[in-house]
Amino acid sequence: MLNTATDTVNTFRTTLKATPVMKAARFQNYPLPPSISLSSAALIEPLAVAWHAVTTSPFDPNRTSNANTDTLIIGGGPVGISLVQILTLHGATAIAVAELLPSRKTLARDYGAIHILDPHEVDIPSTLRSLTNGVGADIVFDTTGVESTLNGAIGQSNLEKMITQRIRLDEVVEKGFRALVDDRRAHYFVLW
């Protein structure tokens, strides 16, 4: 049992010494081009997380016009700002970011967020509804992992839009599971 922070550090060091060097196949490595600094390369992980979030969400990067997709990003950290950049590159213009820190608010606006909402200054759900004529956000990305922000996002979202099909129980395999696997772009959530 670890009793102190020193015990934890010593256990970690022992584990590291006992761990053999890992080798990866060449195809698992991607050499950075000389034009990408190591500082920029450090942002690959949050960019990858954001890219995955966008491509698995109802947002369609292949749609000609994404300008009218109201999007809320909760949190303006590395993943949140990466989301702003990716959505902006795909034509989204109705982007709101909920953030507390002034430096992150500035970055969010610099990268394309239209509305910056401070949860200490405004009620996010009601403010977003007023900005969207009572509808709320089409898509919400929570990058904070904080329970209260997720509850607020659920409270302001138009969740019914996520249900792309309603089916009977006897159709669950063919029209439910298969539809979600085979045509992921057309279906986000099938309700039975």
pLDDT in tens, 113-131: 999 999 899 988 889 889 8
Question: Please, which pLDDT band fits residue 4 given cuts at 50, 70 and 90?
Answer: low
CA dist 139 and 162 (Å) reads: 9
CA dist 146 and 99 (Å) reads: 13
Domain locations along the chain: 44-157, 160-192
Tell me the C-alpha to C-alpha distance, in Å, between residue 84 and each of 25, 75, 88, 91, 111. 33, 11, 6, 11, 6
Query: Residue 73's beta-bridge partner residues?
Result: 97, 141
Q: Output the average pLDDT for the chain.
A: 79
Tell me the pTM: 0.67
pLDDT digits (tens, 9 = 90+) for 170-182: 887 777 777 767 7
pLDDT at 157: 58
Q: β-strands 71-74, 139-142: how paired?
A: parallel
Domain boundaries 44-157, corresponding CATH code: 3.40.50.720
Q: Is 28 exposed, middle or buried (0-12, 13-18, 19+ CB in 10 A)?
A: exposed
